[in-house]
Structure 1
Amino acid sequence: MQINVNGLDTRYVVSNEGGGPWLTFIHQLGGDLSIWDQLAGYFRDDYTVLRYDVRGHGQTAVSEKPFSVADLSQDLRALLDALGVQSTHIVGMSMGGMIAQQFALDDPARIETLTLCDTHAATPAGGHAVWEQRAAKARSEGVAALAQATMERWLTADFRNAHPEVVEQIHEVFASTSSEGYAQACIALRDFDVRSRLSVIDLPTLAVAGRHDAGTPPADTHEIANAIRNAQFELLDAAHLAPIEQSQRFTALLESFLLKRV
């Protein structure tokens, strides 16, 4: 389905078999809503599952001007408004986790629970150049030039060897991402910083990290859990895409976490 969100044609999918409470999944940089296919299939019997392509990704239009993570949070608000969603459980991974944190600060009353995966609350000062380099390379050579190194960061070698079909799909989505959409998002993530505000979040929160995540070290996600009152932290035997690499374990964790709050 396509809908206009803040002037941008936006793709979304709603999976609703049981008519349960809303559960919204937000994907990573260089991904799209398909990363959540398996989880959506599992949860759709008990929840109304919403997935969407973040601006500049998948089949959502590229912004004509630079944007911030706060703008991406406003995109989520506009999408929920358009669909008549009063409140939702939110699961965000990597970039999606940053959008989820921002949304928790902007619109806490609309969140039932918050699940943050493989994410951080700010880019360290020394990491700003990395985002700028990725943005520049995407614009000059295309996102595909970053694909192989990204797969190696996102998934452990054991998983890549055991599940080449999964890696191929993730690689294909990444390589086909709009170069300008990816570059704009890199700059937005470079400037993201909500560390000083996390303590005001008072929502049931599950924070999940991958033990082997070199790009976003587990300590970064753990710091978020420490800053949010009564947040639960879980470490999985995975790299950056922990909910995908350890899908059964993550599904069990999320299901248990949600059931306590439904």
Structure 2
Amino acid sequence: MGTKTETVQLRGLRFRIRLDGPEGAPWLVFSNSLLTDLTVWDDQVAAFGNRYRILRYDQRGHGGTEVPAAATHLDELAADAAALMRHVGATQAAFIGVSMGAATAMLLASREPALVSAVVASDGQAGTAPGGAASWQERIDFARANGMEAVAEMTVARWFTARSRQGHPALARLRAMIASTPLEGFVACATALQNYGFRDALPGLRQPVLLLAGAEDGAMPTSMRALAEVIPDSRFLEIPQAGHLPGIEAPDAFNAAVGAFLAEHAPAR
């Protein structure tokens, strides 16, 4: 039991990973969003770390993971996750991701079914939205022109509900997390989100899938409800009073939904 943080050299990059929970317990893997790091899952580790062996990692260019030399692609993010899982022996794990991490989770499940036994995808999509490439370029240009502190202010305003922006206890921590993201790490992964798509693979998923979205995350509840119509063994739940990161903004409701799903679809030891 306890927390162990390591730096792992894989696929030409140094990755920061963290292991929690009892050895020999079923595996959970958590994948962070753009502009966050593995600590975005602290509330989930507190809730599930006594029953599961948990792997968290910083996606490339984020947190303590090295910034890649060039822009990346979602295929690279899925391959990173697979390599890290194999490195620690996390096979047949439930894979939980938010936003960019949700896309990573669904793509990985389609590519590596022997690694992923179940998926929780929160506030993420299976492809770049129409017009999304230009929108992502605007965000990249804004970051280059104004810096990551300005990106943090803009992002918090977009991701959190108006209610939470009045004093949610996680607000300052998230703002600092975003501001500390390396500019080129943000650019590398934002570029990956400019042009990706794997919706055609979703009908072939054989794992149980829980799709979650913050009720106040713009059009995300609608788009994720649509994913539930094409993924065979899936269900969609809306998290009330939450925006883009319900696991950090509404952790009790998020953890209750995830816990019920895991109780039904617990990964193998």
TM range (shorter): over 0.9
CA deviations 1:31-90 (Å, max 9, x no partner) are: 000010111121111000111100000010000022101001100111112112222111
- Tell me which of 193, 211, 232 is aligned to 1:229: 232
**Mapping 1:93-132, distance limit 5 Å:** 93-132=98-137
**Mapping 1:249-260, distance limit 5 Å:** 249-260=253-264
- Matched to 2:119, the amino acid is L
| CA distance in structure 2 between the partners assigned to 1:16 and 1:125 by the alignment | 41
Tell me the residue number matched to 1:35: 40
- Matched to 1:208, the amino acid is L
| CA distance in structure 2 between the partners assigned to 1:243 and 1:58 by the alignment | 18
| CA distance in structure 2 between the partners assigned to 1:221 and 1:147 by the alignment | 25
**Taking structure 2 as the reference length, what is the TM-score of the superposition?**
0.93
Greater fraction of residues in helix:
1
| CA distance in structure 2 between the partners assigned to 1:149 and 1:228 by the alignment | 33
Task: Please state if 1:138 is matched with 2:150.
Answer: no
- Tell me which of 96, 99, 103 is aligned to 1:91: 96
CA contact (8 A) 1:13 1:51 kept: yes
- Tell me which of 48, 51, 72 is aligned to 1:67: 72
- Matched to 1:161, the amino acid is Q
Judging changes above 3 Å, is the alpha-carbon distance between structure 1 residues 5 and 148 closer, same or farther for their aligned structure 2 residues? Answer: same
Aligned residues: 260
| CA distance in structure 2 between the partners assigned to 1:152 and 1:141 by the alignment | 16
Amino-acid identity (%): 33
CA contact (8 A) 1:19 1:46 kept: no
Deviation at 1:18, TM superposition (A): 6.4
**Mapping 1:107-186, distance limit 5 Å:** 107-163=112-168, 165-186=169-190
**Taking structure 1 as the reference length, what is the TM-score of the superposition?**
0.95
| CA distance in structure 2 between the partners assigned to 1:256 and 1:18 by the alignment | 22
RMSD after superposition: 1.3
Q: Which runs of 5+ in 2 are unaligned?
A: 1-5
Task: Please state if 1:207 is matched with 2:214.
Answer: no
Deviation at 1:9, TM superposition (A): 0.7
- Tell me which of 246, 254, 257 is aligned to 1:242: 246
| CA distance in structure 1 between the partners assigned to 2:128 and 2:143 by the alignment | 19
